[in-house]
Structure 1
Amino acid sequence: MNDRMIPIPFHELMGWILQEKEEHQQIFGVKKYYHHTHGEKLDIFGEHLETPFGPAAGPHTQLAQNIIAAYVAGCRFFELKTVQTLDGEDLPVSKPCIKAEDEGYNVEWSTELTVPEAFDEYVKAWYGLKLLSKEYGFGSPEGFIFNMSVGYDYEGITSKKIDTFIEGLKDASHSKIWATCEKYILDNLDAWHHVDESYVHSISSSICTSITLSTLHGCPPEEIERIASYLMKEKHLNTYIKCNPTLLGYDYARSTLDEMGYDYLVFDEHHFQNDLQFEDAIPMIKRLQGIAKNNHVSFGVKLTNTFPVKITQNELPGEEMYMSGRSLYPLSISLADKLTKALGGDINISYSGGAEIFNITDIYNTGIWPITIATTLLKSGGYGRCLQIAEKLGNSLKTDNPVNPDALDQLRTYALTDPHHIKPIKPMPSRKIKDTVPLVNCFMAPCSHGCPIEQAVPAYLHCVEEGRYLDALQIIVDKNPLPFITGTVCNHRCMTKCTRHFYEEPVKIRSAKLLAAEQAMDALLGTITVPEKKSDAKVAVIGGGPAGLAAGYFLGRAGMDVTIFEKQDSLGGIVKHVVPEFRISSESVQHDIDLVKAMGVTIKLNSEQNSIKTLQEAGYPYILIAVGAYEPGILPLEGTTPQNVLEFLADYRKQKGNMHLGESVAVIGGGNTAMDAARAAKRVQGVKDVYLIYRRTKKYMPADEEELYLALEDGITFMELLSPTKWVDGKLTCQKMILGAPDASGRRRPVPTDDMITVEADTVVAAVGEKIDSSWFAQQGITLTDKGYVEADLHSCETSMDHVYVAGDALRGPATIVEAIADATSFALSVLEKEAITETGFEDLSYKGDAERAYAKKGILEMPVSNSDGNRCLECSTICEACVDVCPNRANITVKIPSQHMPQIIHLDNMCNECGNCETFCPYSSAPYQDKFTLFGSEAMLQSSHNAGFFIKDKTVGQCVLRLDGQLMTINLHETYPDIPVEIMEMMQAVCEQYTYYNY
Structure 2
Amino acid sequence: MGDRMRTIPFGDLLEWMMKEYRDEGKVFGLQKNKFYISKDKARMGTAFGINLGSGSGPAAGPHTQLAQNILTAYLAGGRFIELKTVQKLDGEFMREAIAKPCINSEDEGYNVEWSTELKVEEAHREYIKAWILCHVAMKEFGISDVKDFAFNMSVGYDLEGIKTEKIDSFIEGLKDARKVPFFSECLETLKEKEGLFSSFTAGDIDAISPTVCTTLALSTLHGCPALEIERIATYLLEEKGINLFIKCNPTLLGYEYARELLDSLGYGYLSFDDHHFKEDLQFDEAVAMLKRLMEKAKAKGLICGVKLTNTFPVRVERKELPGEEMYMSGRSLLPLSIEVARKLGKAFEGRLPMAFSGGADALNMKELLDTGIQPVTVCTTLLKPGGYARLSQIASTTSRKLEGTYRDIDLQKLEALSDTVLSDERIRKDFREGTLSRKTGSKLPVFDCFKAPCVGGVSTPHKDGGCPLEQNIPEYLKLAGRGDFGKAFSVIIKDNPSPSILGNICSHPCQSHCTRVDYDKTLQIRSMKKLVSDNAQESFIESLAASALKSEKKALVIGAGPAGMSAALFLQRNGMKTVVLEKEEKAYGQVRYLVPDFRIADEAIDRDFRLAERLGVEFRFSCGEKHDLEALSKEYDYVVVATGPVLHAEGKGELEGRQVLQASEILKAAKAGKLDVAGTVLVAGSGFQAIDTARVLKREEKVTSVAILGTYGESADWVPFDEKAHLSEEGIEVIDSLEEAGSFDVLVNGDSFTARYKGKPEQSNVFYVGECRTGSGAMVSASADGKAAAREILGREGIEDDFKEFRLEMKPMDIYIAKGALRKSLNSKEEGSRCLRCHDICEICTEVCPNRANVAIDAEGFSNLHQIVHLDGMCNECGNCTFFCPHSGEPYRDKFTVFWTKEDFMDSRNTGILKNGNTITYRDPEGNVKEFEGRPVGLEPKVMSIISSLLDRYPHYLLDMDGR
Q: Contact 2:46/2:402 (CA < 8 Å) preserved in 1?
A: no
Contact 2:555-2:636 at 8 Å conserved across structures: yes
Letter in 1 for 2:65: Q
Q: Which moved more, 1:625-634 or 1:407-416?
A: 625-634
- The amino acid that maps onto 2:344 is L
SS at the partner of 2:752?
Answer: coil
Q: Aligned partner of 2:419: which letter?
A: T
Determine the structure 2 residue equivalent to 1:79.
82
- Pick one of 110, 113, 118 that aligns with 2:115: 110
Work out whether residues 847 and 877 of structure 1, in 8 Å CA contact, stay in contact via their aligned partners in 2: no
Q: Secondary structure at the match of 2:179?
A: coil
| Contact map agreement 1:306 1:328 (CA 8 A) in 2 | no
Q: 1:891 aligns with which of 836, 839, 853?
A: 853
Structure 1 383/701 Cα, relative in aligned 2: closer, same or farther at 3 Å?
closer
Q: In the alignment, does 2:92 pair up with 1:89?
A: yes
CA change 1:886–1:646 in 2 (3 A) is same
Query: Which region of structure 1 is more displaced relative to structure 2, 640-649 or 547-556?
Result: 640-649
Other-structure match for 1:934: 897
Q: CA deviation at 1:44?
A: 2.2
Residue identity in the other structure for 1:933: F
Match in the other structure for 1:347: 352
Letter in 2 for 1:761: F
Counterparts of residues 457-606 of structure 1 (less than 5 Å): 457-606=473-622
* 1:659 is aligned to 2:675: yes
Q: Which amino acid aligns with 2:172?
A: E
Change (3 A) 1:614 1:702: farther
Supply the AA of the counterpart residue of 2:183. W
Deviation at 1:974? Answer: 4.6
Question: Among residues 967, 982, 999, which one is paired with 2:941 in the alignment?
Answer: 982
What do residues 85-111 of structure 1 show as CA deviations (whole Å, max 9, x unaligned)? Answer: 001002221111111111111111011
Q: C-alpha distance in 1, partners of 2:168/2:16?
A: 32
**Paired amino acid for 1:54:** G
Could you tell me which runs of 5 or more consecutive residues in structure 1 were left unpaired when the two chains were aligned: 723-735, 737-756, 775-788, 793-798
5 Å matches for 1:294-305?
294-305=299-310
- Which of 757, 763, 773 is equivalent to 2:746? 763
> Are 2:392 and 1:387 aligned?
yes
Q: How does 1:947-986 map to 2 (within 5 A)?
A: 947-955=910-918, 959-971=920-932, 974=935, 976-977=937-938, 980-986=939-945
1:459/1:847 contact within 8 Å kept: yes
Q: 1:876 aligns with which of 838, 847, 854?
A: 838
CA drift of 1:618 comes to: 7.9
The alpha carbon displacement at 1:261 in A equals 1.2
In the other structure, the counterpart of 1:45 is: 48
Question: Could you state the TM-score of these two structures normalised by the residue count of structure 1?
Answer: 0.91
1:212 and 2:171 matched: no
Query: In the aligned structure 2, how far is the partner of 1:681 from the partner of 1:815?
Result: 24
Deviations 1:631-650 (A, max 9, x none): 23434874566222112111
Preserved contact between residue 45 and residue 401 of structure 2 (Cα < 8 Å): no
Residue equivalent to 1:908: 871
Amino acid at match of 1:410: A
SS at match of 2:259: helix
Equivalent position of 1:20 in the other structure: 20
SS of the residue corresponding to residue 429 of structure 2 reads: coil
* Cα shift readout 1:390-432 (whole Å, capped 9, x = no counterpart): 0000155444753101111111122222111111178743211
- Given the alignment, which residue of 713, 719, 739 partners 2:729? 713
Candidates 627, 639, 642, aligned match of 1:623: 639
Give a deviation string over 1:614-638, Cα, whole Å, max 9, x none.
7528832321111123523434874
* Counterparts of 1:823 and 1:172, CA distance in 2: 67
> Hey, what's the Cα distance between the residues in 1 that align with 2:39 and 2:520?
30
Following superposition, the deviation at residue 758 of structure 1 comes to 6.5
Q: Could you tell me which residue of structure 2 aligns to residue 943 of structure 1? A: 906
How far did 1:765 drift? 2.3
Deviation for aligned residue 1:762? 3.2
Shift of 1:653: 0.5
Contact 1:244 1:306 (C-alpha < 8 Å) held by counterparts: yes
Q: Does 1:315 align with 2:320?
A: yes
Contact 1:87 1:111 in 2 (8 A): yes
Q: TM-score under structure 2 normalisation? A: 0.95
Q: Deviations over 1:661-698 (max 9, x none)?
A: 11322222112111111111111122220121224455
Match of 1:834 in 2: 796
Question: Taking structure 1 as reference, are residues 867 and 550 closer, same or farther at Cα in structure 2, changes over 3 Å only?
Answer: same
User: Closer, same or farther in 2 for the Cα pair 1:770/1:973, shift >3 Å?
Assistant: farther
Partner of 1:859: 820
Tell me if structure 1 keeps the 8 A contact 2:936–2:944: no
527-536 or 668-677, which deviates more: 527-536
1:241 partner SS: strand
1:633-712 paired onto structure 2 within 5 Å = 633-635=649-651, 638-639=655-656, 642-655=660-673, 659-697=675-713, 699=715, 704-712=720-728
Q: Is 2:629 the partner of 1:610? A: no
State the Cα distance separating 1:179 from its structure 2 match. Answer: 1.7
Q: Structure 1 CA distance, aligned partners of 2:716 and 2:857?
A: 43
Gaps of 5+ in 2: 457-465, 960-964
Moved more, 539-548 or 763-772: 763-772
Query: Which has the larger displacement, 940-949 or 487-496?
Result: 940-949
**Which string of whole-angstrom CA distances, capped at 9 and with x for unpartnered residues, describes residues 931-982 of structure 1?**
1111001233212201111112345xx74433333221224675642xx432
| Displacement of 1:712 | 3.5
- Write out per-residue CA displacement over residues 233-288 of structure 1, whole angstroms, 9 at most, x where no aligned residue: 11110111111111111111111111111111111111111111111111111111
Secondary structure at 2:27 match in 1: coil
State which of 161, 174, 191 in structure 2 corresponds to 1:186: 191
Find the partner of 1:414 among 389, 396, 420.
Answer: 420
Q: Which residue of 2 aligns with 1:729?
A: none
* TM-aligned CA deviation for residue 536 of structure 1: 2.4
Describe the SS at the equivalent of 2:454: helix
Question: Which one is further off, 67-76 or 297-306?
Answer: 297-306
Partners of 2:645 and 2:343 in 1: CA distance: 57
Asked if the contact 1:953/1:961 (under 8 Å) is kept, the reply is no
Structure 2 partner of 1:748: none
8 Å CA contact 1:808–1:823 kept in 2: the answer is yes
Which one of 327, 331, 334 corresponds to residue 326 of structure 1?
A: 331
SS at match of 1:173: helix
Task: For 2:823, give the aligned amino acid.
Answer: E
Q: Which moved more, 1:603-612 or 1:511-520?
A: 603-612
**Is the 2:388–2:847 contact (alpha carbons within 8 Å) kept by the matching residues of 1?**
yes
Q: Which residue of 1 aligns with 2:462?
A: none
1:806 corresponds to 2:764:
no
C-alpha distance in 2 between matches for 1:293 and 1:938: 51
Match of 2:67 in 1: 64
Aligned mate of 1:992, from 940, 948, 951:
951
Pair 1:365-2:370 in alignment: yes
Q: Secondary structure at the match of 1:540?
A: strand
Residues 998 and 911 (structure 1 numbering): CA distance in 2 closer, same or farther, change over 3 Å?
Answer: same
The answer to whether the 8 A contact 2:521-2:824 is kept is: yes
Distance (whole Å) between structure 2 residues aligned to residue 71 and residue 116 of structure 1: 23
Q: Give the Cα–Cα distance (whole angstroms) in 1 for the partners of residues 758 and 258 of structure 2.
A: 52
Q: CA deviation at 1:846?
A: 5.0
Q: Which residue of 2 aligns with 1:750?
A: none
CA 322–808 in structure 1, closer or farther in 2 if over 3 Å, else same: same
Q: 1:339 to 1:878 in 2, by over 3 A?
A: same
CA distance in 2, matches of 1:487, 1:698: 29
Q: Render the CA deviation track for 1:315-365: whole Å, top value 9, x for unaligned.
A: 111111011111111111101110111111111001111111121111101
Cα distance in 2 between the residues matched to 1:351 and 1:383: 19
Out of 400-409 and 500-509, give the one that drifted further.
Answer: 400-409
Partner of 2:149: 144
1:550/1:166 CA distance change after superposition, 3 Å = same
Please tell me the residue identity of whatever aligns with 1:466: R
Report the number of matched residues: 939
Cα offset, 1:984, TM superposition: 1.9
| Per-residue deviation, residues 582-626 of structure 1 (Å, max 9, x unmatched) | 110000000000001111011111111422247528832321111
| Contact 1:550 1:824 survives alignment (8 Å) | yes
Q: Secondary structure at the match of 1:272?
A: helix
